[in-house]
Chain A
Amino acid sequence: MSRLTKAAAAIAATAAISLLASACTGSSESAANDDPNKDVTITFWHGWSAPSEVKAINANIKAFEKVHPNIHVKVQGNITDDKINQALRAGGAGAPDVVSSFTTDNVGKFCSSKAFADLSPFLKKSGIDPAKTFPTAMLEYTQFEGNRCSLPLLGDAYGLYYNKDAFKAAGITSPPRTMSEFKADAVKLTKTKSDSYSQLGFMPDFHGYESTTTHLSAQWSPTYFDKNGKSNVSKDPAFASMFNWQQDMVKALGGFTKLEKYRTTFGDEWDAKNPFQTGQVAMAIDGEWRAGMAEDAGVKFPIGVAPFPVPDDQAASYGKGYVTGTIIGIANTSAKKNAAWELVKYMTTDTDAVVSFANAIHNVPSTYAALKSPKLSTDPAFQTFVKIAQNPGSNTTPPSVNGGTYQLTLQDFGYAYESGKQTDLTAGLKGVDTQVDKDIAQAK
């Protein structure tokens, strides 16, 4: 009996503690002194997995190898951020030289921990002025506290998708431009059916796929951190305004409980059963990729695309939206940094490469030159997002030392507030500030 218990205790202890054992490894930084003109093979990790995307990235790599016949690129797709994190920490021969990530959230971690190499010397050496090459918001999310450890590799912009047939049936002639117009249209488009809906104008709940706190807050042009790096959520009225608007929308469309119940009938965001594509919701906030996905899903109704509405008191700023994108950097453990830089430079700054890749995967180009390129797709829906990305009012969530933790804290409060668990908005936002500052202090 006691043997069994001792063994059980030992197993428990081993299992609990060995969870950490593999994390306790280190990596080292290496200097950029390799010769990029020598015959070399570099490894490139990316997250694209759809056949059309993989085909596009491979074509891009082939084009690079044609220009740089001495640099061979070993490509590894379908890589997640968790894999990237661990590979960068472990280092070694199996670690990548060039890494791209779909999320901008980890740039702060990658830069501050020096997991990614500082690209400033490479940019200088190549005579590239980032400010003249990349749009401002994209420049913002690819650096952290002055350390430019990554560059934008195409971008995403968020806008309003609407069902044109539903608009016509509701007598709406043009997409809403302000939040009050948006609310009126959402109510008009909502059709109830017993204790649920046959069609919902808009899903305002924060779990409604892309209707997150950060995506919606972008329409109020928020400032997440003050100049001292402290959380600014309770001090910037943008956040309170967004939460009040969302609360108002929830009430106007039937209340949280009813909306949440309806939400459970939604299909997966990324497949054909997306609620906008099935007609369950008539308007949605989403990225530029949705148009292509809806087409692939064989959506029957005509789809309209426009910038997401702005607050009534900021009507002049109509056209802006939340922007983000894929980032690319060089692993600090790489012993082939100069060769790796050639690939990064080609993929991020070669106009033809950027344009052809953007056209192929329906993403927004990430350089000024590519955005103006005549070769860029002229599809009206796509061009709407190109314009949102170029809009000077478009904004993003800034990088932080602990990644997207501050966004998670804000979102967590959003869930509590919309469900009525937290009723005091002012106190709640102050609580967000306190928590964000504590988390950052712990990470620094």
Chain B
Amino acid sequence: MSTATGTVHPMLKAKRRRETLRNLAFLSPWLIGFTVFFAYPLVSTVYFSFMKYDGFAAPTWNGAKNWSYVFNDYPFFWPALRNTLWLVVVMVSLRVVFGLGIGLLITKIKTAPGLFRTAFYLPYLAPPVAATMAFAFLLNPGTGPVNHLLGDLALPQPGWFNDPGWSKPALTLLALWGIGDLMVIFMAALLDVPKEQYEAAELDGAGPWSRFRYVTLPNISPIVMFAVVTGVIQTMQYYTQPLVAGKVASGVIGGSGQQFEPGYPDKSTLTLPQLVYNLGFQRFDTGSACVIALVLFALAMMFTALLMRRRSGFLSAED
């Protein structure tokens, strides 16, 4: 509101200021969190990516050398990037499909549904290190029961974690085994689909596939979107399982004069977070580690933006 001369009344001004301050006060927990846990690390990471910094001496300007080193001279970067992208595309897709499939199955089960829900959810609770070690044991090409069984059935016996061609599929199997998180989310979404829509579709002569395509999917599409986005983010941070699988399968745990080979076998289990740790915490090259962290950030943003652009395909009928 303005006076006839165009100036704001002082009382109104004071009221607006009070409102702004009150809004800021309500927002302050988020603002503080955003600044401390997002803005500051982001700005610091960009800053350190141009600095030479080993954590002991003060940082010194290094120009674009860290960037050049990571992209041109660091032999683990491109294999790790390829692996990360492979896992994002294949593992995330399969997890979403499998999680949805198990969710559908569980919602249809009438006998002892609690038992089945528990059985499918339990693997998700297994600690990642223990689960990976168990898988490495089960899938050991020489002594593991899985290959023994495949051998008895006269089927090919893959090298699993010891074969560069099979190590990522083996990791995917491990991820599918621990599908409990997605199963629960999809199950909740599926139970939330209005029953009358199915009934109406059935009256219109829709078969199972049509009911799934035109009723279930549009209703749960926000959850599918959520599963894909969080899956991409989790896979970008995939560290423990490939590291443990590589270490157990290689048999080399490192020690005096023994260098642990990252990404065994043949760099096939190397992921970008492993490089962040290797460079930042083991080689004291904070600058190059920051470069990789920024690449991860850029990739996460890119995938999210891509998913956003394709969001129409995910939107529910009501959106």
Does B241 lie at the interface of the complex (its beta carbon under 8 Å from any beta carbon of A)? no
* Closest residue on chain B to residue A438 by CB atoms: B73
Asked if B222 contacts A4 (CB within 8 A), the reply is: yes
Contacts of B285 in A (CB 8 A): 402, 442-443
Query: How would residues 11 to 44 of chain A score, 1 for a CB under 8 Å from any chain B CB and 0 otherwise?
Result: 1111111111101111100000000000000000
Category for how many chain A residues contact B: 35 or more
**Chain A proximity of B316: nearest CB distance (Å):** 9
- Give which listed residue, B37, B256, B261, contacts A156 with CB less than 8 A: B256
The reply to whether B282 and A264 contact each other, CB–CB distance below 8 Å, is: no
Q: Across the interface, name the chain A residue whose C-beta is closest to B301.
A: A9
**A263 within 8 Å of B by Cβ?**
yes
A210 at interface (Cβ–Cβ under 8 A)? yes
1/0 per residue, CB under 8 A from B, across A128-147: the answer is 00000000000000000000
B209 at the interface (CB under 8 A from A): no
| Chain B contact residues: helix, strand, loop or mixed | helix
Cα separation A262 to B286 with both chains bound (whole Å): 40
Contacts A17-B41, A23-B286, A443-B283 given; does A214 touch B257 at CB 8 Å: yes
Closest to B70 in A: A442
B281 touches A86 (CB 8 A): yes
* Shortest beta-carbon distance from B208 to chain A in Å: 28
Asked if residues A85 and B48 are in contact (CB atoms below 8 Å), the reply is no
Least CB distance from B143 to A in Å reads 5
Across the interface, name the chain B residue whose C-beta is closest to A323: B257
Contact yes or no, A264 B256, CB < 8 A: no
Quick check: B266 and A21 within 8 Å, CB to CB? no
Interface size on B, residues (CB 8 A): 74
Cβ of A264 and Cβ of B143 under 8 Å apart?
yes
Which residues on the B side are within 8 Å of A287 (C-beta)? 256
Residues of the B chain whose Cβ atoms lie less than 8 Å from the Cβ of A227: none
Question: Which residues does chain B contribute within 8 Å of A5, judged by CB atoms?
Answer: 225, 229, 304, 307-308, 311
Which of B69, B252, B260 gathers the greatest number of chain A CB atoms within 10 Å?
A: B252
- Given contacts A10-B38, A113-B56, A20 and B45 within 8 Å (CB-CB): yes
Chain B residues positioned under 8 Å from A264 (CB to CB)? 140-143, 159, 162
B250 within 8 A of A: yes
**Is A424 positioned at the interface, with any CB of B under 8 Å from its CB?**
no
- A421 to B143, alpha carbons, bound, how many Å? 26
Can you give 30 contacting A-B residue pairs, CB < 8 Å?
A1-B222, A2-B308, A5-B308, A8-B232, A11-B233, A13-B42, A13-B301, A15-B233, A16-B236, A16-B300, A19-B293, A20-B280, A21-B44, A24-B55, A85-B284, A103-B254, A105-B259, A109-B284, A114-B57, A210-B258, A263-B251, A264-B162, A287-B256, A407-B257, A407-B259, A435-B75, A439-B73, A442-B66, A442-B285, A442-B288
- By Cβ-Cβ distance, the 9 closest A-B pairs, closest first, are A12-B300, A264-B142, A265-B142, A89-B55, A16-B296, A8-B229, A408-B259, A17-B41, A12-B233
